Amino acid sequence: MFLGIDCLIDPRGVPFISEVNIGLPGGIFEYGLIEKYIYKRDSNIFELIEEISLQKHGKSFASYIQKSPYFSLHQKFKIWMDREGNLPDLLAPIFRLEDKWNQYLLLKKNFRMPYTEIFSGNFNQLLKLSKKYGKIALKRRCGRWSKGFKVFDENFSKEDFNEIKEDDYICQQYIESKIDNYIFSVRINTFAGKFLCLTGDLTPSYKSVWRYIVAIEEGKNQKIEKANFDILDILEPAWESKIWCKGEIPEHMKLNLTHDKLALTKVFLKKETISEMKEMAIGIANLYEKIDLSQLPPAFFEK
């Protein structure tokens, strides 16, 4: 499988697995931008992916993605995840991995993850969790690009509560993953059990429309190189959109897939933090390669 594994890093430098994205998640295009504009060199990442695809599957990467038996269904399923279409009548077992609760059940014993529960719709559940963990992250069980994401804190409103009651959510221990007042996360891409690359993501607020791609380097301390950084606008279709959308990007996906912002700076992380993230990502990638999808619990959308 091709994976996009998201990590959060607490103030001590301890990484947590936030979620695992399947299909054709982003990260590769962003890594290519970092290599081109920050380091002024060719990434060779696309050639590496093609090489792995030929060795593992005997075909080009685009063929591996587009000729999978559930590709067209998965395209429709992703649009349903975005709340822009109906749930497909046919569902492949692999879609169970799109349910974040199933991810948690699968990974929590062997990989560090924030404590997670299915949201019951009861306000007291949030109060109880907040007494133990402080802030609580609320995520759609199936969703992407942080759409619908909310935080249960002093600013949580009645409107927020009413909105999450109308959908299927998980409530999760909020990890304070920040770099110089920016919310910070790391995307690690793997393919066929092999590590490909990692990239950083800086966001002014979880309600922000924009995020800033950022390079990650090993350093003695967890910090940003330049707090007042310039931003480079990238106006071109992302690599994954050309394969997944075949050049026809749905209107609601255009902002995410045709316009990126690159932070002209770097984030430094401790060697042990980077090493542990890579180790966890490879472990998850190998687990996903071996998993018997039919043995996964049914997802909420199958009931």
Residue 165 is predicted with a pLDDT of 73
250-289 pLDDT, tens digit per residue, is: 899 888 889 999 999 999 999 999 999 999 999 999 999 9
- Amino acid identity, residue 145? W
Residue 155 is predicted with a pLDDT of 76
165-185 pLDDT, tens digit per residue, is: 777 999 999 999 999 999 999
CA atoms within 13 A on the CB side of 95: 26
Q: In whole angstroms, how far apart are CA 246 and each of 29, 251, 256?
A: 16, 14, 16
Which of the four pLDDT bands, split at 50, 70 and 90, describes residue 122?
A: confident
CB atoms within 10 A of CB 273: 22
Residue 283 is predicted with a pLDDT of 98
Residue 173 is predicted with a pLDDT of 97
Residue 52 is predicted with a pLDDT of 98
CA 82 to CA 86: how far, in whole Å?
A: 10
Please, what is the average pLDDT of the chain?
94
Weakest-pLDDT range from 115-119, 146-150, 284-288: 146-150
pLDDT at 24 over 80: yes
CB 31 within 8 A of CB 4: no
3-state secondary structure at position 104 = helix
Q: What is the pTM of this model?
A: 0.94
